[in-house]
Amino acid sequence: MSACSDGILLLDKPAGISSNAALQRAKRIMGVRKAGHTGTLDPFATGLLILLFGQATKVSDYLLNADKRYRATLRLGQETNTGDREGEVVASGRVDFDQPQLDAALSQFRGRISQIPPMFSAIKRDGQPLYRLARKGVEIEREARSVEIYSLDLLSWAGDELVLDIHCSKGTYVRSLAQDLGRLLGCGAHIRELRRLSSGSFSIDAAYDLDRLAAAREADQCPLQAMDLALQDLPAVTLTENTAYYVRQGQGVVIAHAPAPGRIRLYGPQAQFLGLGEVMEDGKVAPRRLMGVN
């Protein structure tokens, strides 16, 4: 079987397993040791989980910061302690509002909003994840966080089921959004189904489920995408053979027509991706995270 160990894998995570369990299964299928993911999905959730293999783990920060898009199905009339279908019902209410009231409520959650993260989350307090405290029945005060909801579209509403398309910034908790919306509507709500549709420029349309991934490797196909696809927002700089040599040695170089100061993508003379660099204030190009260099 041909080598396929460095790059980005778009995985369609199934329901019922954790993001880490999905990662471990993908690692076994791919036969690689070094890998990570770039944004946890709850076990009940499905959809796009971006996995980084080998050298691609060096670009993880750029994917962690990406905006996300979800399709969320809300169960109206019940609030749970986890904010999703796996929790215990802690409050109930009548679904007694009309379309204009729903539209007005949704409008309150577009743009820059403040959210209190749920207790059932991986946020740590004194080194301990909040969900461990929550499982013991302990609830502590959490600081509100500012997040951006770029769009919040109503796809359907029938009885106690509401389906939303949500495009949001990193750090947004869709469970908190559903809970806050339910409280504003006066009936309570929790997430019944959640599917991540995109992360940054990557879409679920190009993702592999675990069975298809196994079939691809069995057929000796490499499903990994190029690592520099995660960095398309950064300016690209192509080095000469001479300047590429010095950059690989960890030295800064002077190039003609350098971009403005900031992070850049570095390429060699044959268009091979070398890694991340930075244009300094003095115009020099310095290496930051190079591929093939530990």
Contact 59, 52 (CB under 8 A): yes
Calpha distance 34→133 (Å, rounded): 31
Calpha distance 274→290 (Å, rounded): 6
Calpha distance 236→213 (Å, rounded): 31
What 153-158 contacts at long range (C-beta under 8 Å, 24+ apart), as own/partner pairs, is 154/102, 154/103, 154/106, 155/71, 157/99, 157/102
Q: Degrees (nearest 5) of the Cα angle 217, 220, 222? A: 70
Contact 217, 4 (CB under 8 A): yes
Question: Which tokens go with 273?
Answer: 């991706």
Determine which one of 42, 84, 180, 228 is catalytic. Answer: 42
Dihedral angle at the C-alpha atoms of 294, 122, 151, 90, nearest 10 degrees?
A: 170
Q: Degrees (nearest 5) of the Cα angle 48, 54, 55? A: 105
Contact 153, 165 (CB under 8 A): yes
Contact 151, 172 (CB under 8 A): no
Please say if 42 is a catalytic residue. yes
Q: Catalytic residue positions?
A: 42
